[in-house]
Structure 1
Amino acid sequence: MSQKFYGLEPEKRERIINAAIKEFARNGYDKASTNEIIKEAEISKGSLFNYFNSKKELYLFLLEYLVEVIDKILDEIDLNETDIFKRLRDVGFIKFKIMKKTPSSL
């Protein structure tokens, strides 16, 4: 992946991430369309492949990104909380915070 991707405005970066997550989640890797991703993200195909050399590279980036999202959730869970309902509520709030930023990630 190109470092240019990290240099993008956060809003544009999130549009690309969300569009790609949505497309891969709907269609799986083989049937996912980069054309749908660029349309949803409102970028050109050249831009997408300027940031990622291939569909596979984008997919692998998303896997790493989602592992980080899950790690953030796990880091925020109070494992000492013994009340399952409080723990579930807390997880719900954490997921809500993440979904506000990256709607397609969970």
Structure 2
Amino acid sequence: MNVSNLRAVVFGGKFSGKTSLINTLFGKELLQNQKRTAQCQKHQGNVYGRELTLVDTPGWWKDFPLSETATFLKKELIQGVSLVNPGPHAIVVGKKHGFS
């Protein structure tokens, strides 16, 4: 499969390194003075000859049950997927100690 424009959404708990991963893949600090991602942000660039689109999403508190997660946060996470039409090729999920 030869895909020229790769699309992915990066999900994870608070402080799991989502923004750092995106900065590393693009090789620069896209979000230099930002402490926390409050809204989904779409980033595009060329990485190793391929157009890459990544969406950074807000994090959630990992130890809280879904029922206690704020409605606006749930809506924002869904919005992140809609930013990569017609849909993401991959969903990257951050864990406590890195990504999988």
**TM-score of the aligned structures, taking structure 1 as reference length:** 0.30
Structure with higher RCO (Cα < 8 A, 6+ apart): 2
**TM-score of the aligned structures, taking structure 2 as reference length:** 0.31
Task: Give the number of the structure whose alpha-carbon radius of gyration is greater.
Answer: 1
Q: Higher strand share goes to which structure?
A: 2
